[in-house]
Amino acid sequence: MGLRDQILALNWVHYNIRDYGGNPRDVTLFGESAGALSVSLLALIPNNRGLFHRVIAESGVANAPGATTNATLSTIRTAQKAGCVHDNSVPNDDALLQCLRRLDPTELVKATDAFTIELGLQLFSYTPFAPIVDGQLFRRKPAVLLQDKSSSEFNFFQSLDFMTGNCENEGSVVVGAFPLIQDQLDFNISIGIPTVDMCNIFLSNMLSERIRSNDRVFKAVCDKYTVDGNSSEQGRQFLNLVSDYSFIATATSSLADHSNKIQGTRTYQYVFFDELSFMLPNAPSWYRGSAHATELTYLFYYEQLKSHVKYPEGAEILVNQMRSYWTNFAKTGNPNGSGLPLWLPFDRNSSHPYMNLKSQGTGMGMNYRKPYVDFWMKRIPAMLSECDQTSCALPVVG
């Protein structure tokens, strides 16, 4: 229903924006995190054709884990927290729905919070409430639609100019849960993550059921990210895994899906590197890197924050560069402009150029975290393809 609300808003823009000096044939969607998931999902709905023409997805894409979910279990569990009884023998439990509809909104929010907290570490692999594959807006999971090059969904996605990127340490999204994890597991997170807990506890809760249930595949993931005898480095590797699995691999995959010249649209990737300590004031001392959503403080809030936040030297230059890149892309589908470091498109060649956004030297890089992207998008699917074909029908991520 959230996506349907967004579509209604886009229709309003389409039919009214000319009265405000806008051009209904030249609309760009921006979104970050859940907003990035939203705009990426909207780009897979063919009925949206003509409502927008470009997409900037910051830290989230439609084929990422958690972009869609099966909300039935979450609804039942939340209802039970609120005192509504579910009858397992009834396919469509109308009594449960009526009970939920009678709830005071405050009670419903409390029940939702209680259910979410109870999930604990499972939140790493399961989004309680997100858009669903409903047979109307979405016929199949986004990752499957992107694999079907003949689908109308894929055709619409490729008709749009597309920019996506990430902060260096997207794994920061789990740092807020560290105090709860520490209490549950009885160890000191300020020191790091014990290697002995990395696979059996952290990975087993974060990864999808398809990976957890395949011993050989699970061991490959475990071996890729474990570090013996160094809890601090093990903590950093866990955050790298969260970044790679939940953000980087799927972003790179969506860029690759988009980046051919059949429809003449353009594809760009960025990675943001500046670290601001105020974004994660309670992060452990071993934490490193640009936290999830840090780039928003450069695009939108620099003037409000610079008087009482310590920005890196050269940050104002990067602020102006990023604002120019974003608005140039929104206007033309090309982020480049006078006085800006040249930003090469993702599909220029097999080296997959991306823009390094940093206060000390914005410039091009190539094949961001390629060994890890290949691990998730090539090696793991190849290993899974050796198992039963029914259980291996879906991509490993998304």
What residues contact residue 222 under an 8 Å CB cut-off, 6+ apart? Answer: 198, 199, 203
Residue with tokens 């509809």: 101
The count of other CB atoms within 10 Å of the CB of residue 101 is: 9
Burial class (CB in 10 A: 0-12, 13-18, 19+), 16: exposed
Alpha carbon distance 377, 394 (integer Å)? 12
Tens-digit pLDDT profile for residues 56-73: 999 999 999 889 998 888
Alpha carbon distance 304, 52 (integer Å)? 30
User: What's the confidence (pLDDT) of residue 387?
Assistant: 61
| CATH superfamily, region 2-68+130-384 | Alpha/Beta hydrolase fold, catalytic domain (3.40.50.1820)
pLDDT band at 394 (very low <50, low <70, confident <90, very high): very low
Mean pLDDT of 274-291: 95
Q: Which region among 29-38, 218-227, 269-278, 384-393 has the lowest average model confidence (pLDDT)?
A: 384-393
**In the predicted model, is pLDDT for residue 396 greater than 60?**
no
Hey, which bits of 11-103 come out as E strands? 28-32, 54-58
CA 103 to chain centre: 32
Contact call for residues 130 and 69 (beta carbons, < 8 A): yes
User: What's the confidence (pLDDT) of residue 92?
Assistant: 80
User: What's the confidence (pLDDT) of residue 349?
Assistant: 67
Mean pLDDT of 299-326: 96
pLDDT band at 397 (very low <50, low <70, confident <90, very high): low
pLDDT band at 340 (very low <50, low <70, confident <90, very high): very high
Mean pLDDT of 358-370: 95
Tens-digit pLDDT profile for residues 70-81: 888 899 999 999
Q: Percentage of the chain with pLDDT > 90?
A: 78
**In the predicted model, is pLDDT for residue 117 greater than 90?**
no
What residues contact residue 180 under an 8 Å CB cut-off, 6+ apart? Answer: 120
The pLDDT mean for the chain works out to: 92
Helix (H) or strand (E) holding 255: helix 249-258
What would the two tokens of residue 244 be?
């790679």
What residues contact residue 253 under an 8 Å CB cut-off, 6+ apart? Answer: 63, 146, 373, 377, 397
User: What's the confidence (pLDDT) of residue 393?
Assistant: 44
Mean pLDDT of 278-285: 93
**In the predicted model, is pLDDT for residue 392 greater than 60?**
no
Tens-digit pLDDT profile for residues 150-207: 999 999 999 999 999 999 999 999 998 888 778 777 778 999 999 989 998 889 888 8
For residue 243, the SS3 value is helix
R_g of the chain, CA atoms, integer Å: 22
The CA–CA distances, whole Å, from 2 to 9, 38, 110, 130, 317 equal 11, 9, 20, 9, 37
**In the predicted model, is pLDDT for residue 398 greater than 70?**
no
**pTM of the entire predicted model:** 0.92
**In the predicted model, is pLDDT for residue 390 greater than 60?**
no
Alpha carbon distance 164, 318 (integer Å)? 18
